[in-house]
Amino acid sequence: MNNFNRVKRFILTGTPGSGKTSVIKELGKSDYAVIYEAATDVISIEQAEGLERPWEEHGFVGKIAHMQKERQMNATGDLQFYDRSPFCTYALGKYLAYWKGLEFKPSPVLLDEIDRCLKNNVYQNKVFFFENLDFIEHTDARK
């Protein structure tokens, strides 16, 4: 069995502001391998380049999926915790399309990444789901 299959990758998911990132930060302090959420970083990068609302742009979900794949492929450690996943990105894309009144058409980048993850059993089947805390800390990405 190669090292890729021995790695345990756990997904933390849930609504914005449910505490996923706070838990990820604490896990990182305990020397676990943690992989931060990509959407917030994509938003930050795009806003730094002058795009005020990147989530409204074509290709936004694909950029998130690409960053998630890069991070997953470069992560080290036999036990890894992920603040969201390509499966969460699919749900985000579906929500954004609904919000815009459009039919959801996932990007080829996202579909390829989901297919790769499923075929290779990249993530553990058990997911940590965080429930809404009924309040949210506002950030530049979360207004």
Residue 85 falls inside a structural domain:
yes
pLDDT tens for each residue of 100-111 = 899 999 999 999
Give the pTM.
Answer: 0.85
CATH number, residue 41:
3.40.50.300
- Asked if 82 and 11 touch (Cβ cutoff 8 Å), the reply is yes
Evaluate whether residue 135 is within a structural domain. no
State how many domains the chain has.
1
**139 in a domain, yes or no?**
no
88 closest CA partner among 140, 134, 123, 57: 123
- pLDDT bucket at 2, cuts 50 / 70 / 90: very low
The 10s digit of each residue's pLDDT in 66-95 is: 999 999 999 999 999 999 999 999 999 999
- The range of the structural domain enclosing residue 49 comes to 3-130
Total residues found in the chain within this entry: 143
Residue 76 included in any domain:
yes
pLDDT tens figures, 29-66: 999 999 999 999 999 999 999 999 999 998 999 999 99
